[in-house]
Amino acid sequence: MWFKNLQIYRLPTPWAVDLAKLDEQLARGEFTRCPSNQPMSRGWVSPRKDGALIYSNNRQWLIALAVEQRLLPSSVVNETAQERAEQIADQQGYPPGRKQMKEIKERVVEELMPRAFTKKRSSFVWIDPTNGWFVVDAGSPAKAEEVIEHLRHCLDEFPLKPLHTQLSPQSAMADWLAGGDAPAGFTIDRDCELKSVAEEKAAVRYVRHPLEGDEVKAHLAAGKLPTRLALTWDDRISFVLTEKLEIKRLAFLDLLKEEAEKSAERADEQFDADFALMTGELVRFLPQLIEALGGEQTEAEAPASAPAAAGTPPWEA
């Protein structure tokens, strides 16, 4: 149980919710198999496959949303509909109009949907009610919003908010690259992407390449801004920070996984050990990341600084 991506949100600190009540409300949206006449079904499943909708370990919770979709390619629908349209054209002496063609496609979808293959995927969510963390293991905000939408549908109250920091990740990453040094506790790795703010959106990407030289600084001076930067925290977690405050390619270094394996005597204890170690590290990592970005910004706070003039790099504004 090791997350690979982090979409980070905030809950009240602490989030005063009863575990039993949360479990009861999640049951309102429990997963059922996709009906033969529907394109998609989603709902909560047991993250540990033991029947419980919430896995709890040391006041850290894990839930999982399953999404099952019927795979009905549009090319198959269009091809079948076109064959039907040609048959109808032969019968009535002229091709179907736009409205009739739409009705043909709808009938084709209804007929083919029960025979379509299904694909199932799951998204895991770590909830820390004590420290107010709500983190989805998802590679995109859209996948995270899918989870949040279903959770809002199930819960009576769900006071979730986006995470905002005093410094934007983009301006902070630009500062770190321009100065050639990462904030305390972090090191800059060898992957980076910079994009121009000009209309053509020119971009340059470095992979396994030293970033401390003049070449990167020249791109910054020319107006390109970092959109991704690979970092390591405390020699324990490597990751890529994006301009949208997403964590990608999250990797817990081998030493951590070895610690989890040593603490698990039996195979059924490995899940417990992995989750406990992962959440223990994230509880330490996230506050330090936020501190490196100038601290957390509340809704009541004004922006930390006036917006930079057009074309002005944020570290020079």
Cβ(48)–Cβ(271) below 8 Å? yes
Spatial distance between the Cα atoms of 54 and 50, rounded to a whole number of angstroms: 10
Cβ-proximal residues to 256 (8 Å cutoff; 6+ apart), any chain:
236, 237, 277, 281
pLDDT one-digit tens code per residue, 100-146: 888 888 787 777 777 777 788 999 999 999 999 999 999 999 999 99
The pLDDT value recorded for residue 213 is: 80
pLDDT beneath 50, residues of the chain: 302, 304-317
How high is the pLDDT of residue 317?
38
Q: What is the pLDDT of residue 304?
A: 46
Tokens of 224: 């390109």
What pLDDT score was predicted for residue 301? 63
Secondary structure letter of residue 231 according to DSSP: E
Dihedral sign, Cα of residue 204, residue 210, residue 188, residue 273:
positive
Q: Which helix (H) or strand (E) holds 44?
A: strand 40-45
Q: What is the pLDDT of residues 266-288, one digit of tens each?
A: 666 889 989 999 999 999 999 99
Q: Name the token pair of 148.
A: 């949040």
Helix axes of 254-263 and 267-292: crossing angle, nearest 10 degrees:
140
Q: Tell me the HSE value of 82 on the side-chain side, using a 13 A CA sphere.
A: 6
Q: Radius of gyration (Cα) for the chain, nearest Å?
A: 25
* C-beta separation of 259 from 276 below 8 A: no
pTM score, two decimals? Answer: 0.82
> What's the residue count for the chain?
317
CA distances from 284 to 56, 129, 181, 234, 304 (A): 19, 15, 21, 10, 25
**pLDDT of the residue at 267:** 63
233 forms beta bridges with 186, 237
Short-list 127, 118, 173, CA closest to 22: 127
